[in-house]
Amino acid sequence: KQEVTQIPAALSVPEGENLVLNCSFTDSAIYNLQWFRQDPGKGLTSLLLIQSSQREQTSGRLNASLDKSSGRSTLYIAASQPGDSATYLCAVDTGTASKLTFGTGTRLQVTL
Amino acid sequence: GAGVSQSPRYKVAKRGQDVALRCDPISGHVSLFWYQQALGQGPEFLTYFQNEAQLDKSGLPSDRFFAERPEGSVSTLKIQRTQQEDSAVYLCASSRTGDGEQYFGPGTRLTVT
């Protein structure tokens, strides 16, 4: 059974810092990996999707990498801003009915 | 045009009541997913539709949970005889194809008292 772990569970950084969020998964036979952002009381906003054949994806200040063989992904956020404060979730798609298996998230706070 | 919508946004039910949660996917999206998110946890898969066919319902926690998508568009998740442990946020997602990026709705927060 696929298990997804995210470290750290919570992170507080001052504005302007670069930071890395980590995601690991136990079964490397994945179809793709998706990073989401969730604001309190809200649904999930898709940030980046990496196909299993890709090694990274970039969108603005966000860069996600994927090392399928070692079961790891990282989300890099450059020049963090208070508006980046949210919970970040990673999810893997094993291709079985395309259901996503989620980690428990990293709660990020960016302070002024 | 708009994204995935869900209604109601909030639902309070007394234990033993039946509830129905609605999901309107993005127009033209073939695949529809339901997830359950407990407080402080990541979402967990409940069930998956491709058009009107329910291809996977392995995540439904009990036979009190039932989902349908009769015309391949709007979907309803029904929970019969609600229990306190059913309290959670129920998220719906859709994707253009079964293997594509999933887009989530705002969720329905169910509280069973």
Q: What is the pLDDT of residue A97?
A: 62
| Cα–Cα dist B38/A32, whole Å | 24
Q: Is residue B98 scored above 70 in pLDDT?
A: no
CB B107 within 8 A of CB B90: yes
Q: Please give chain A's pLDDT, 112 residues, in tens.
A: 899 999 999 999 999 999 999 999 999 989 899 999 999 888 899 999 999 999 999 999 999 999 999 999 999 999 999 999 999 999 999 876 678 999 999 999 999 9
Q: What is the pLDDT of residue A41?
A: 82
Predicted confidence (pLDDT) per residue in B15-73, tens digit: 999 999 999 999 999 999 999 999 989 999 999 999 999 999 999 999 999 999 999 99
54-93 in chain B: CB under 8 A from chain A:
55-56, 59, 91, 93
A97 with B48: Cβ contact below 8 A:
yes
Query: How far does the CA of residue B105 sit from the closest CA of chain A (Å)?
Result: 6
**Which of A33, A74, A36 minimizes the C-alpha distance to A54?**
A33
pLDDT interval class at B80 (50, 70, 90): very high
Chain B CB within 8 Å of residue A112 CB: no
Query: Number of Cβ pairs closer than 8 Å across A and B?
Result: 64
Residues of B in contact with A105 (CB under 8 A): 42
* Tokens read off for A97: 């009915």
Instruction: Give me the phi and psi of A52, to 5 degrees please.
Output: -65, -25
Q: Is residue B13 scored above 70 in pLDDT?
A: yes
A103: closest chain B residue by CA: B42
The mean pLDDT value of chain B amounts to 94
CB A64 within 8 A of CB A50: yes
Residues of A in contact with B45 (CB under 8 A): 99-101
A36 with B104: Cβ contact below 8 A:
yes
